[in-house]
Amino acid sequence: MLVSPSKVTFAGEGKPRKNGSQKTNPSGNIPLEQIRVVIADDHPVARQGLSAILGSLDDVKIVAEAADGEEACKLYYQYSPDILIVDLRMPKKDGLQVVDELMSGRSPKPRIIVITTYEDEEDIRRAVKAGAKGYLLKAADIEQIEAAVRAVAAGGSLFPTAISLKLVEAVSRPELSKRELDVLHFIATGRSNKEIGAVLFISELTVKGHVRSILEKLGAKGRSEAIAIAVRRGLIQTLG
């Protein structure tokens, strides 16, 4: 099931961008306005599979494919597609960096769908905050992929129910500051408050204050529990 949660979606609003690319409806002579798509994924099999699924639709045209984040940005500027489908983990620039860069660029803003194997709360929150209009898992079925592409091309947004629920949970929790995330990362590597202070050029007392804030925001009783919660939510990557 797919839903369009309030505050993050606008399903049904807007219209597909005019691009002049049309294909004749097989049931008649009425031309179809095509949805032009660029796919970015560093796994060839994933790109080919997604291309085959979308390419089978009469009104969808795959105009280019990228194997990394830098290429994704270049191809977006070159082709100005209606939809950019981007993998979350890619070399050179990851999916979130791509979303950030393109959303801060020229107008109109790109319509981006993130597709990934990851469903961590933090990844979802950051993707939506950056401007992604859809977030799909690579295990999504054909109907989910098609529905998301059509909704986003129409100016709306669409997220699977499970993703929407995680997003609601993520935005309801206190957000860690950048400095707190830095401290959390060093906590996870086993560094002491004194060592963290030396690396970040702040006092040990300031580090202790950040640690207290981190524990409070995560609802953790100690460092070990904070690390476990942070890994589960995607705030830090699994160690080892």
CA distance 32 to 25: 6
- Confidence (pLDDT) at 20: 44
pTM exceeds 0.85, yes or no: no
- Confidence (pLDDT) at 17: 47
- Confidence (pLDDT) at 172: 67
Domain annotation for the chain: domains and CATH numbers: 2-171 (3.40.50.2300), 178-233 (1.10.10.10)
CA distance 160 to 143: 11
Question: In the block, which residue shows the tokens 């898992």?
Answer: 137
- Confidence (pLDDT) at 24: 43
CA distance 238 to 225: 14
- Confidence (pLDDT) at 100: 87
- Confidence (pLDDT) at 4: 45
- Confidence (pLDDT) at 72: 93
Helices 95-103 & 69-79 angle (0-180, nearest 10): 30
- Confidence (pLDDT) at 238: 56
Q: How far is CA 118 from the centre of its chain?
A: 10
Assign 3-class secondary structure to 182-236: HHHHHHHCCCCHHHHHHHHCCCHHHHHHHHHHHHHHHCCCCHHHHHHHHHHHCCC
Burial annotation 216-235 (CB, 10 A radius, 16+ → b, else e): ebbebeeeeebbebbeebbb
CA distance 99 to 134: 12
- Confidence (pLDDT) at 201: 94
Tell me the pairing of strands 60-66 and 35-40: parallel
Question: Taking the chain (240 residues) in consecutive chunks of 10 residues, what is each chunk's mean pLDDT?
Answer: 41 42 44 81 90 89 92 92 91 88 81 84 82 86 89 86 75 82 91 93 92 88 88 69
- Confidence (pLDDT) at 174: 79
Closest CA to 147 of 138, 165, 160, 137: 160
CA distance 226 to 81: 42
